[in-house]
Each structure stands twice: as C-alpha cells, then as structure tokens.
Structure 1
Amino acid sequence: MAYPQLKYLRRLLRVDDKLYLVITFMLLLSFHSGLGEPCKFDLDHPCICKTQNFQLNLESFMKARGGADLQATGENDQYIYYVQPCNRKLSTQLQSCITVNPDLVSCQVDANTKQQAYGLGVLHKYEVTRDQDNFILTNSFIQQSDMINRTLHLTVKCSDQDGEFTYQGSNKPPSPVIYKFTLATRHICAGAKNEGGLSPGSVMVIIFFVLLIVYILGGLLFQKFIRKAQGVEIIPNYVFWKDFPFLVKDGFVFTFQCCKGSSGYDKI
C-alpha cells in the first residue's frame, strides 16, 4: 500500500547529498554555538572562571561573604536553595545534601524537615555564557532517586547592590527541570574582564559565510567551465533552489496534515 505522505518526503529529501551534508553540518554548528563554554577554574582561584573569550571573577564577592553559599527560598517558602557559584563544595554542610552527593555545588532542601534534598549541580560541571554585561552560569545533576535532571541557571548581573540573590522560579517536569536564579552585585562589575577575541557564535557565523561564498563561487566555476552550463543553469543546484519555495510549502502541508490525521491526506 502506498502512503501519500511518502511522496512529500521524497520531494523534501530530493537534494544533492553533498549539499544536504553541508546544510546539516551548518545547522549543527549553529546549534552548538548557543551552548555555554566550560568554566576553567584554577585550583588556587576557584572563584575565577576563565574561558577562551572572557573571565568571570567572583573572588571579591565571595571573600566579602566569607565563602558562604548563596541562599534563597522558593515555592512559597517550601524549599531552601543553596548555591556555591565557585568551583568548590557547598559550605552548608547539610547531611541531606551530602547524602545525595558530597560534591554538590547547588542543593534544593525541604524547608520544614531539612531531610529531603535534590541536587542541582556538581563540581567541575559549570558552563558559562556571556550576554553583554551579564553572565549565565549553568550546571546540572541527575538525581538517582527519581532520575530527573535538575539544572541550575544562575544569571550574574552587574549592579550597585552589594549582593542580592533571588530565586526566579522553575519549569515543571518532565526532565530537565531548570531552576533560575539571579545574583546582582557590584563586585562583578570590576571582576568582569573581557579577554578579547571572537566568541564561538561569531566564529560559527564567519565559517558559515565563508563556506557559503566557497559554495557559490566554486559552484559557478564548476558549472561554467566543467559542465559548460549556460544562463541560469550555471547556478549551483539550480533545480533544487528553483523548487525550494515549493518544497517549503509541501513541508508545511505535510506537517499540518499529519497533525490532523489520515483523513487529511485525501485533501493533499
């Protein structure tokens, strides 16, 4: 039995294999460029996070706090959250957190009993991204008791405040559950240091346009001098680009008809 939707899949996939690989590769690169960079912490300076492009210095802030964990309450005071933004263990030595994992850098604890705890991040797993003057630290931990991935999302902002740490809320399961916090402090204003160079996203954009230019120029030369093409036929993969708008249309039709059920195929 022939399924009508296969016809649309064939049309959507009717593209030169090499071009398909290039498009897939660029999509993967663009996805990766949105990820954070691993924090590189020096053993002697665990509160200085370095990447290839910038530096986040929390030493003066944490020194002013005596190294104490950040604390905030959430969910109508049902939970207390402990966060250690440096690459070291929680200074809050709650047995419930230690039982979950002794290397936690963030822990969610039941405010009433202090017995139930969940990990939000662990040592050596911090990643950081920079958004103008703000920094976003992320970490994650999979709780063995329920196999839920809980993720710490800490935004560090330059502010005239000494250090205000607040809980911003979380999404609901299924996994991963992202817990968002904000740290506003004047200490980060002096501790934020740009190391120069291009960000990973900028590098990916440059690579994309270089490959695009190589594809267009190389394709034009190949069509003109190797295949002896004339007119619009010298455009690389001319048939594909000519049909591209119709392929996009077919993709939308296919998607919407699938959502409506098999009865919609007759209309296609």
Structure 2
Amino acid sequence: MLAPHTHPAAPAHNRVPDVTLDFWLIKLMAVTMGETAADYLAVNLGLGLTVTSLIMTGVLIVALVLQFAQKRYVPWAYWLAVVLISVVGTLITDNLVDNFGVRLQTTTIAFSVTLIATFAVWYASERTLSIHTIFTTRREIFYWLAILFTFSLGTAAGDLVAESFEMGYLTSGLMFGGVIALIALAYYLIHLDAILAFWLAYILTRPLGASFGDFLSQPSEYGGLGFGTTFTSLIFLGCIIALVLYMTLKKTDDEADEILLESD
C-alpha cells in the first residue's frame, strides 16, 4: 500500500529583523521619536501623562496584535510596534516618577530586576535568548516584554544620569554613544557574548536617542536647539517611514532571489 501523500511542514520564520546597520539606525530614530512624541502628546496637546498613557497603551495593543498575526518579520508591523512600545515604555517611567513620586534610583533598580527576571524566565523556558530564533508565539511574547522593559529601564537610567550629574542633552548623548561604542569594541575585539552585547546596546540606545531628541526639541534656555517636539517628531517619523519602505523593498527582493535560487 502506498503511503498517503504528506506535505512537508512549512518552515518557521524568524519574526524579528536581523541586526544590521539599518536595524540600529531605525531603532535609534524610533526611540528618539518616542521621547519627543510622548512629550508632544502629554504637554503640547495638553493630554497629560495619564490620558496619553491610556491612549498609547491601547494603540500599542492593537499594533502588537497585528505584529503577532504576521508569523514572520514584516517591516511595517514590526517597526510600528517598536515605535509605539518606545512611547509606552517612556510613559511608564514618567508616570511612576511624576505621578506617583517614585525616585529614579528606585525605578532604575526595579526595571533592571524586572528585565533580568524576564531574561531568566525566557531562558528557563526556551534555553536560549537568541533573537535569531523568535519563531514561536511564546518566544515572541518574551521578546516584546524584554523590549518594553529595556525602554522603561533606558528612560529611568538616562534620566537618572542626566539629573545626578547635571549633564546637558548633547553631553549625555555623547556619553551614552561612547558606552555603546565600547560595547561594540568589546564584541569585535575580545568577543563579548553576542546576546549580552546586543541587549546592552539595545538598552543604551534608549537614553542615547532620548538625549538627542531632547537636544533637538527643547528650547535653547534648557540646552536644546529649540526645534520643538512637533517638528522633531515629524522629521524622525519621515525618516522611519523612508527606512521601513527601503527595508520592505529590500526584503521583497531578497525573497524573490531565494525563490529563484530554489527553482534552479
């Protein structure tokens, strides 16, 4: 008797992008826009932290539903979620500090512990923290939880450094950029663990982007260039859209090339 015809299982697709220069550029722009957009909604539009937080959390939930529905990396869905989660992560810290009076030292420690706990549970469950194998819903949940806490931690740590040392926006940005450069050197020269290097850099891009966002948007009397949150947010939004379009076209071309190679 002939065995029934079976179809091979569909290959699992990684649901997050590869870590490339494009990735870091758009991530930095996303966190910069997250800082200025949160300020624009809460301050310029007069919505306040609480209302802004509720609105943006609702929008983020919708974006994450769209992202989880893709089952593969789709640039527009992924980066929409990143931009929104950067705003919400910022607002979580701002609410704790401004509305509930929690000290920045406390929020920094709390989010550090929460992030470490997330990684611990993630590793205990999946035996890996690699971002190259995010092809199940459970791993993707861990991934986005970690992303959320990195934004909240980055906000708290960045504000703590800026307030403790009374550094200007530009100086703070250059300092965080220097630390990221040291991490990159450690990765390339002394083979720092790739996963550790990635997550350290991911955390630090948040205060780096926030520092430059504030430098561009805040008035000159506060050490900024005075472009305003509206103009700054729109500029970075335009850059993000352009990069996402480029990534989408590039991904389409790469997939077409793969199909051609498989057919040969």
Identify the structure with the greater helix proportion. 2
TM-score by structure 1 length?
A: 0.22
Structure with higher Rg: it is 1
